[in-house]
């Protein structure tokens, strides 16, 4: 049996864990001295994660946190954040992670809606005083948890038994609000375990790999990725703030083999590689993997060609942390043009009109607002995603756009994603987003917003439409407006393009 086969067999066995804490304990018993989290010069092993989380849980218990207590935390991607989160999992508390870039409006909403009884903050972080904001918002039970010395700590002998059930709601994640308030998404340990297992088994890592977390740990990708580390017993480098080229030294120093995040991250790695054509910027890198935003086929081919590694892309959302994932052993065609296949237990249905709907263990329990839950699920219990797609004959999912990204021009449906994928083939395009704008004559007009690479000749509408015609795009789908921007507006988590802002700017 090969090392990968042995690791996979062990991971499948650990995947039967009922709760996240049970998974931590079982992994720590197997490989207590192997590292799990790396940050700067610090190393945390699986055994230390278990032990420190138990001591932190005891400290939280001494503060009054009990099973079912709602604890919100707004912390950066640090080892201490993972320790606190697993301490809460050990207690069976309900935790509500909040992205650290959010401010009064979003944080206040999350605290009120969740009914949080405690709120962990990092103090002053990147020039912003989170403790002062918490007090300004009237948050209850505010405490700082920014390093080892400030984490709650006590003798684990005071702790009650760990939770036995993995199907109780113990997580409230927040969708990124755009034009309205965010939604509180309800998850269980089992739904997060199912999502992380999908990611892990598709990527087929082994104990010799070194991963990376270049995204906020408070994002749904945090537990998704950590479950993979626990299942397969390998470490990841944590980046409190990710920026290239500054982060390259850490990737090289720790010998990262698996990196990623989202399409924007792939583009950043590519841009850095093009600035340094003499050799691979991360010599140990064998795989880029991610999701969270559409991936144009050209990005896949460019990564394989220029970075010299494989690229696998997946499909997930706050409501379902991992739906499908590309497999490194798949064909280049499938890896370039699809989002991969779903794992066992994930049902995908393409409804009339092409909407992707989902049912399975990784799907959330709904939302804090019962009315939102009722609207989100159909009569057979499938979650309405709002995404459009189709399944290939061999079960791969192809996403063709969003319901709200279908531009209706003179009664004809135009897919924004189809145009974006073609634009990415143009050498003068670093990134592109296509939106529909109100138009008195057409209903909507097609607007392409383009971010160009440094030093590129400015594009014109005429050159863009000529390129798209040559690529085979139908005439009625051609953009009627072109906007060039220095950088597309993005969120702070997976750097997804905020199309609502483009509609505000140009509509």
| CATH no. of 46-164 | 3.40.50.980
Residue identified by tokens 């979650």 is 383
430 token code pair? 């670093």
Run of H or E residues at 10: helix 3-14
Run of H or E residues at 347: strand 346-350
What 3-state DSSP class applies to 29?
helix
Closest by CA to 50, choosing from 82, 76, 19, 74, is 82
5 token code pair? 């086969």
Burial of 428 (0-12, 13-18, 19+ CB in 10 A): middle
Run of H or E residues at 37: strand 35-39
Single pTM value for the model: 0.86
Burial of 475 (0-12, 13-18, 19+ CB in 10 A): exposed
Cβ atoms of 162 and 19 closer than 8 Å: yes
Burial of 298 (0-12, 13-18, 19+ CB in 10 A): middle
pLDDT, position 8: 66
pLDDT, position 495: 82
H-only helix segments in 67-188: 79-91, 104-114, 130-136
Residue identified by tokens 């020039």 is 127
pLDDT, position 491: 82
In angstroms, the CA 220 to CA 187 distance is 10
In angstroms, the CA 502 to CA 433 distance is 9
473 φψ region: left (φ > 0), alpha (ψ -120 to 50), beta (else): beta
What 3-state DSSP class applies to 55?
helix
pLDDT, position 287: 97
Q: Do domains 46-164 and 191-402 have the same CATH topology?
A: yes
* Domain 191-402, CATH class in plain words: alpha beta
List, run by run, the mean pLDDT of 10-residue segments along the chain (507 residues): 60 84 97 97 98 98 98 98 98 97 92 98 96 97 95 96 96 76 94 93 93 95 94 97 93 96 89 92 96 87 96 95 94 96 94 95 97 96 95 94 84 87 94 91 91 94 95 91 95 83 91
Cβ atoms of 31 and 230 closer than 8 Å: no
Closest by CA to 364, choosing from 191, 210, 489, is 191
- Boundaries of every domain in the chain: 46-164, 191-402, 410-506
Closest by CA to 215, choosing from 205, 225, 202, 201, is 225
pLDDT, position 4: 58
Run of H or E residues at 222: helix 221-232
pLDDT, position 493: 76
What 3-state DSSP class applies to 268?
helix
H-only helix segments in 303-345: 332-337
DSSP 379-423: TTSPEEEEEEEEE-TTS-EEEEEEGGGEEEETTEEEEHHHHHHHH
| CATH no. of 410-506 | 3.30.300.30
């Amino acid at each position: 049996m090969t090392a990968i086969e042995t690791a996979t067999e062990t991971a499948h066995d650990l995947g039967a864990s009922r709760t996240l804490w049970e998974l931590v304990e079982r992994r720590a018993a197997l490989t207590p001295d192997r590292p799990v989290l790396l940050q700067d010069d610090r190393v945390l092993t699986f055994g230390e994660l278990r032990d420190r989380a138990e001591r932190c849980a005891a400290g939280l218990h001494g503060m009054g946190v009990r099973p079912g207590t709602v604890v919100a935390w707004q912390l950066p991607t640090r080892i201490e954040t993972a320790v606190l989160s697993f301490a809460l999992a050990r207690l069976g508390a309900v935790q509500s992670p909040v992205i650290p870039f959010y401010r009064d409006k979003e944080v206040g909403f999350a605290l009120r809606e969740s009914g949080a009884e405690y709120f962990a903050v990092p103090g002053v972080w990147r020039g912003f005083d989170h403790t002062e904001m918490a007090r300004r918002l009237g948050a209850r039970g505010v405490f700082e948890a920014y390093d080892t010395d400030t984490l709650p700590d006590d003798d684990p002998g005071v702790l009650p038994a760990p939770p036995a059930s993995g199907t109780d709601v113990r997580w409230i994640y927040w969708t990124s609000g755009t034009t309205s308030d965010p939604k509180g998404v309800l998850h269980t340990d089992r739904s997060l375990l199912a999502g992380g297992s999908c990611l892990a088994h598709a990527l087929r890592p082994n104990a010799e790999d070194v991963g990376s977390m270049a995204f906020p740990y408070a994002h749904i990708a945090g537990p998704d990725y950590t479950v993979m580390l626990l299942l397969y017993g390998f470490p990841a480098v944590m980046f409190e703030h990710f920026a290239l080229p500054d982060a390259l030294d850490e990737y090289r120093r720790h010998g990262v083999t698996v990196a990623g995040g989202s399409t924007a991250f792939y583009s950043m790695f590519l841009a850095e590689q093009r600035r340094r054509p003499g050799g691979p910027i991360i010599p140990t890198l064998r795989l880029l993997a991610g999701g969270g935003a559409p991936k144009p086929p050209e990005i896949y081919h460019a990564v394989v060609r220029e970075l010299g590694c494989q690229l696998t892309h997946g499909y997930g959302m706050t409501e379902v942390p991992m739906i499908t994932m590309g497999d490194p052993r798949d064909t280049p065609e499938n890896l370039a043009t699809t989002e991969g296949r779903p794992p066992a237990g994930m049902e995908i249905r393409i409804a009339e009109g092409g909407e992707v709907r989902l049912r399975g263990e990784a799907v959330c329990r709904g939302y804090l607002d019962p009315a939102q839950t009722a609207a989100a699920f159909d009569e057979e219990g499938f979650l309405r995603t709002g995404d459009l797609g189709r399944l290939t004959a061999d079960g791969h999912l192809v996403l063709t756009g969003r319901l709200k990204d279908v531009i209706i021009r003179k009664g004809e449906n135009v897919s924004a994603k189809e145009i974006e994928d073609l634009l990415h083939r143009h050498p003068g395009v670093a990134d592109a987003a296509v939106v529909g704008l109100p138009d008195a004559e057409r209903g909507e007009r097609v607007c392409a917003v383009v971010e160009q690479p440094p030093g590129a000749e400015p594009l014109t509408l005429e050159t863009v439409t000529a390129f798209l015609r040559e690529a085979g795009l139908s005439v009625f789908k051609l953009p009627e407006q072109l906007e060039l921007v220095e950088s597309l507006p993005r969120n702070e988590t997976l750097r997804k393009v905020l199309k609502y802002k483009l509609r505000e700017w140009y509509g």
